Amino acid sequence: GAVVSQHPSRVICKSGTSVKIECRSLDFQATTMFWYRQFPKQSLMLMATSNEGSKATYEQGVEKDKFLINHASLTLSTLTVTSAHPEDSSFYICSAHWGDLPEQFFGPGTRLTVL
Amino acid sequence: AQTVTQSQPEMSVQEAETVTLSCTYDTSESDYYLFWYKQPPSRQMILVIRQEAYKQQNATENRFSVNFQKAAKSFSLKISDSQLGDAAMYFCAYEATDSGYALNFGKGTSLLVTP
């Protein structure tokens, strides 16, 4: 149980285009979902926290107008990277939380390459 | 803000031997959770072990155990009988009980397992 999927697993786009990444909890309802960014050989950095039906809470330094997060249902959150640039190239990971357990369950990640 | 420090960027262990990965953290909270996550080359984050701060007993999961020293704010991971499949990045993470389940990660330790 507690499986989280992400789609796509890999995306390559041109500079200036927008990219949408989906995060789904497959067998549970996620009360909270998290979005992380991980640069090569670095740790996971929390970008934002989203709760179903409410606006996402962004970490300091993360541009909310560039990284749009929508948490439309208890099983789906989306991250849209708007007007992507090469410096946005990274590995994006989502996670979900449910119930009383303190741990998060992670998706497999999405590798974004902006040319 | 809580900080998590992993002072060993890389560690190496021979197959079947034991290795200990270090983690220290800084917090003024009395109740919190600590985790070790494993990130293999696939980059899927996998929960290895969890420790509740209010529990004095060290958590154990098969070959994985922790040495939790609350006063010293230390949380090391011991891997016994190391296997080739244990090779991965290991991240220590902190979660405050009132943080909305947000995780604060250390920079990680890359574990190499040699035959």
What are the pLDDT digits (tens) for A46-67?
999 998 878 899 999 999 999 9
| Beta-carbon separation of B50 and A102 below 8 A | yes
**Residue of A79, A71, A35, A29 lying closest to A54 (CA atoms):** A71
What integer is the mean pLDDT of B62-86? Answer: 97
**A61 chain-B contacts, CB cut-off 8 A:** none
Closest Cα in chain A, distance from residue B63 (Å) = 20
> Pick the residue with more confidence: B98 or B69?
B69
Q: Are A5 and A94 in contact (CB under 8 A)?
A: no
**B47 chain-A contacts, CB cut-off 8 A:** 103, 105
Beta bridge partners of A67: A81
Closest Cα in chain A, distance from residue B81 (Å) = 26
The mean of the pLDDT values for chain A is 93
Judged by a CB distance cut-off of 8 A, whether residue A103 touches chain B is: yes
pLDDT computed for residue A72 by the predictor: 83
| Beta-carbon separation of A46 and B107 below 8 A | no
| Beta-carbon separation of A93 and B100 below 8 A | no
pLDDT computed for residue B61 by the predictor: 95
Is residue B65's pLDDT more than 90?
yes
Tokens 């959150």 belong to residue: A77
Judged by a CB distance cut-off of 8 A, whether residue A43 touches chain B is: yes
pLDDT computed for residue B72 by the predictor: 96
pLDDT computed for residue B96 by the predictor: 86
Is residue B1's pLDDT more than 70?
no
Separation CA A40–CA A27 (nearest Å): 30
pLDDT computed for residue B112 by the predictor: 98
Contacts of residue B95, Cβ cutoff 8 Å, sequence gap at least 6: A102, B32, B33, B34, B35, B101, B102, B103, B104
Q: Are A79 and A68 in contact (CB under 8 A)?
A: yes
pLDDT computed for residue B20 by the predictor: 98
**Residue of B109, B39, B43 lying closest to B76 (CA atoms):** B109
CA A19 distance to own-chain centroid: 12
| Beta-carbon separation of B43 and A106 below 8 A | no
Is residue A103's pLDDT more than 70?
yes
Convert the pLDDT of each residue in B2-40 to its tens digit: 799 999 999 999 999 999 999 999 999 888 999 999 999
> Pick the residue with more confidence: A70 or B13?
B13
The mean of the pLDDT values for chain B is 94
